Structure 1
């Protein structure tokens, strides 16, 4: 029973998602809370903080403020976080329609062929049709240039080009249809919209191509009207309730979240990573172990288990496998026995004999 309680405590500690920074960032609460609703179970795959964002957070926590790649990583983090927040905000508009015949899945990434994947921000499943939502959380003025198949954003007087999301979502429809046929599901209508989550964003297009844009691009506030339109147009049930649930289970089972190796991507060696236990209050590194407690030399915060969050950083950056020696080096522990005591209290799964034992850290 005591072991069970400890495992629950560890799981909770490892699931804390907070934003941070060293310098320009400050500790803030959990990014967003799931919208409480009477039918939570009908969102079959909820929007959770993606592993990529958690890895970027861990990397920024442990990268020197003057590091040459820091600004590039901060840009990637801001972009990823904006996308996550945009997708989260869409749940509000979907809540009125949730039922056993209207299911919602977030962030589905499926294998397209032997090497390539396709990803869907939000997928709505009904018995009559499927709806793909590609969410864009972008500020400023967006011009959908269909002639040159690009999206042009104007923000603070600066123009920036992006890949055409209309072309992208058409490919997603094609890929999803092919995947469904390969899994022997009925041929069901698939529709898609590009949803602009920021209500202050201005949308423009070239008049010659405006019809294509008007059919595909909407503000989040118009989503409910579009769903009502599709539901009134497609009244014939293509799938049974059983098939609908089977499809949702299979999509979740086949989902393969993107899990990048950030150190490899940004070419950062271990020697450039700041090691030691970080303070969960002010993010100062390292804390010092004094009389069985971790003490922050900057804010004087004291903790018995501050090492847990730092071991999560290790798992996110270097992988989930860790040895006694790895732990000593990363947490700045003075002896093998100190590391062993921590490992024993965490009740981690392991392989190998005592001297060569490898432990598995949770994510």
Structure 2
């Protein structure tokens, strides 16, 4: 059973928003494009792994995706599987080329198109996350359970190599298509329940309740000033910015298209990039609405969450809404809550 769905990574959505609202001549534009490709590749690998996990019997395993917890520092796990018998931490990688795991230096080299580069050792990552989760459970006085870890390689075309005599590391590195078989082997290894249903439910509920959403300050990360972010509503047809507010609808002066709901992605971009609550004035300025009364009426139809009152009123989106891609055809008017 999936206890926590895998969201589209906030880091991916933020970079998409950046590329929509930066001048293409911005000096780090190409870097952001490359970073976005990496995030999309990683997410695709995770979704591919989710496909193979879907073959597991729902009544035996609880699946928690993209879980971020805190001991002294925060740590984030791609996927956790939990049963009454054991737990399993997955570190998912979608990497093209050949990976060489060096026994002596504990380093990993990626070789692709005759280019070699060092990458983070995913085995060390997976072990660290497993150990952090164990410490987290101890700190929360939860009953100990056997915790395994695996590095999951989502591409079958990725070649794995290591030094002679070091092949034992591959018991913790598998291809995604082998995941079901590997989990069945672990289930055969751990046949005695170590948790009762009540303890299992307490553990899963606490894990979900203690999840800390990540919300990076993306502008600070790339050294981007607020004034470099292009304001306005983007046309869903030709992608030009801005559209104009005309007679209770949005009109694109470039391609002459009309839209009732084109402001939804603009509002989401504001929260993704600026990482703060929105006032009526900021809403009016970011969407380039001339009349305050028009902006006020439109803002109230969004049903955003509110704090403060009067002139101090601020509006914001809950994180689960921000993390969901917006599709104009799928969302009803004002359905932002």
TM-score, L = length of structure 2: 0.90
- Once the two structures are superposed, the pairs formed by residues 44-83 of structure 1 within 5 Å of their partners are 44-83=3-42
Distance 2:131 2:198 in 1: 24
Q: Could you tell me how far 1:320 is from its partner in structure 2?
A: 4.4
Contact 1:107 1:122 in 2 (8 A): yes
Alignment of 1:215 with 2:174, yes or no, is no
Alignment of 1:141 with 2:98, yes or no, is yes
Q: Could you tell me how far 1:352 is from its partner in structure 2?
A: 4.0
In the alignment, which of 236, 243, 247 is matched to residue 291 of structure 1? 247
Partner of 2:109: 152
Partner of 2:189: 233
Contact 2:217 2:275 in 1 (8 A): no
Distance of aligned partners of 1:237 and 1:322 in 2 relative to their CA distance in 1, 3 Å threshold? same
Distance of aligned partners of 1:83 and 1:302 in 2 relative to their CA distance in 1, 3 Å threshold? same
Distance 1:356 1:197 in 2: 49
Structure 1, gaps ≥5 residues long: 1-41
Local SS of the residue matching 2:17: helix
In the alignment, which of 130, 139, 142 is matched to residue 173 of structure 1? 130
Distance 2:309 2:3 in 1: 41
Contact 2:130 2:148 in 1 (8 A): yes
Q: Could you tell me how far 1:228 is from its partner in structure 2?
A: 1.2
Per-residue deviation, residues 198-222 of structure 1 (Å, max 9, x unmatched): 111111112142222x221111111
Count of aligned pairs: 319
Local SS of the residue matching 1:321: coil
Distance 1:48 1:98 in 2: 22
Q: Could you tell me how far 1:328 is from its partner in structure 2?
A: 2.0
Distance of aligned partners of 1:320 and 1:361 in 2 relative to their CA distance in 1, 3 Å threshold? farther
Bigger shift: residues 340-349 or 352-361: 352-361
Local SS of the residue matching 1:289: strand
Q: Could you tell me how far 1:190 is from its partner in structure 2?
A: 0.9
Q: Could you tell me how far 1:130 is from its partner in structure 2?
A: 0.6
Contact 2:110 2:117 in 1 (8 A): yes
Alignment of 1:99 with 2:55, yes or no, is no
Distance 1:240 1:227 in 2: 21
Q: Could you tell me how far 1:49 is from its partner in structure 2?
A: 0.8
Alignment of 1:185 with 2:185, yes or no, is no
Local SS of the residue matching 2:11: helix
Distance 1:170 1:312 in 2: 36
In the alignment, which of 67, 71, 74 is matched to residue 112 of structure 1? 71
Partner of 1:280: 236
Local SS of the residue matching 1:218: strand
Per-residue deviation, residues 276-309 of structure 1 (Å, max 9, x unmatched): 1011233211112222221223333211221121
Structure 2, gaps ≥5 residues long: 323-337
Partner of 1:242: 198
Distance of aligned partners of 1:289 and 1:255 in 2 relative to their CA distance in 1, 3 Å threshold? same
Partner of 1:304: 260
Per-residue deviation, residues 154-176 of structure 1 (Å, max 9, x unmatched): 11221111111111211112111
Distance of aligned partners of 1:297 and 1:88 in 2 relative to their CA distance in 1, 3 Å threshold? same
Local SS of the residue matching 2:145: coil
- Once the two structures are superposed, the pairs formed by residues 341-360 of structure 1 within 5 Å of their partners are 341-360=297-316
Alignment of 1:323 with 2:270, yes or no, is no
Partner of 1:36: none
Local SS of the residue matching 2:310: coil
Q: Could you tell me how far 1:357 is from its partner in structure 2?
A: 2.9
Per-residue deviation, residues 211-263 of structure 1 (Å, max 9, x unmatched): 22x22111111111211111111101000122112211111111112210001
Distance 2:122 2:251 in 1: 49
